[in-house]
């Protein structure tokens, strides 16, 4: 997957390092939302590194989603540490950052997945995730569907 036509601008790693900044952020996310990288088959981005909880390659639509987070971390003042601090505290910020990533993921699907049913299934799965415990259950599923499809949306708290 290319970023601005220049080729991969990220690193993919399996698992989370035992200590350091990524480990600390992961621990906080675990405490706050009960997430688990391996069980939830998640990808967690820190700076330019995507930490995945599974052996298989990252699906191309999810890769596009995670690339948005790499870009967000790179452009955020204070870098990934400051981004994560705000992401963990600020619900509106968190949902808005995810909406940007899910929108890009869905746009990719519309361009590259010819099977309508598969596109819809992925949209529903993304909306379930976005409205679910992984992000603090801060948006309804209907609002999450609207948000991912590029429409207006409301956050619950």
Of the pair 61, 98, the CB lying nearest Zn ion is at 98
Of the pair 32, 115, the CB lying nearest Zn ion is at 32
Residue nearest to Zn ion (CB): 101
Q: Which two tokens stand for residue 90?
A: 């600020």
Contacts with 59 (C-beta within 8 Å, 6 or more apart), sequence order:
none
Q: Which two tokens stand for residue 100?
A: 């940007």
- Smallest gap from Cβ 105 to Zn ion, in A, equals 9
**For residue 94, which of 62, 137, 58 has the smallest C-alpha distance?**
137
Q: Which stretch binds Zn ion (CB under 5 A): 49-57, 80-88, 95-103, 126-134?
A: 95-103
Beta bridge partners of residue 45, listed in sequence order = 50
Of the pair 45, 110, the CB lying nearest Zn ion is at 45
Of the pair 115, 128, the CB lying nearest Zn ion is at 128
Distance of CA 55 to the CA centre of its chain: 18
Q: What is the chain's Cα-based Rg?
A: 15
Range list of H helices, 76-140: 79-89, 91-112, 116-130
- Smallest gap from Cβ 65 to Zn ion, in A, equals 6
Q: Which stretch binds Zn ion (CB under 5 A): 13-21, 82-90, 96-104, 109-117?
A: 96-104
- Smallest gap from Cβ 151 to Zn ion, in A, equals 19
**Cα–Cα dist 110/106, whole Å:** 6
Of 99-118, which residues contact Zn ion (CB under 5 A)? 101
- Smallest gap from Cβ 132 to Zn ion, in A, equals 12
Give the containing element (helix H, strand E) for 49. strand 49-52
- Smallest gap from Cβ 70 to Zn ion, in A, equals 11
Residues that bind Zn ion (CB under 5 A): 98, 101
């Amino acid at each position: 997957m290319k970023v601005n036509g220049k080729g991969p601008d990220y690193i993919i790693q399996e698992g989370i390092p035992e200590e350091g900044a990524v480990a600390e952020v992961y621990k906080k996310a675990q405490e706050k939302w009960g997430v688990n990288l391996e069980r939830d088959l998640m990808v967690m981005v820190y700076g330019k590194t995507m930490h995945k909880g599974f052996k298989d390659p990252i699906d191309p639509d999810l890769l596009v989603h995670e690339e948005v987070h790499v870009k967000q971390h790179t452009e955020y003042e204070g870098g990934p540490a400051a981004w994560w601090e705000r992401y963990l505290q600020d619900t509106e910020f968190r949902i808005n950052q995810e909406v940007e990533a899910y929108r890009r993921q869905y746009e990719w699907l519309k361009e590259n997945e010819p099977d309508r049913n598969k596109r819809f299934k992925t949209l529903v799965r993304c909306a379930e995730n976005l409205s679910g415990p992984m992000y603090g259950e801060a948006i309804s599923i209907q609002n999450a569907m609207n948000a991912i499809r590029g429409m207006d949306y409301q956050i619950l708290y």
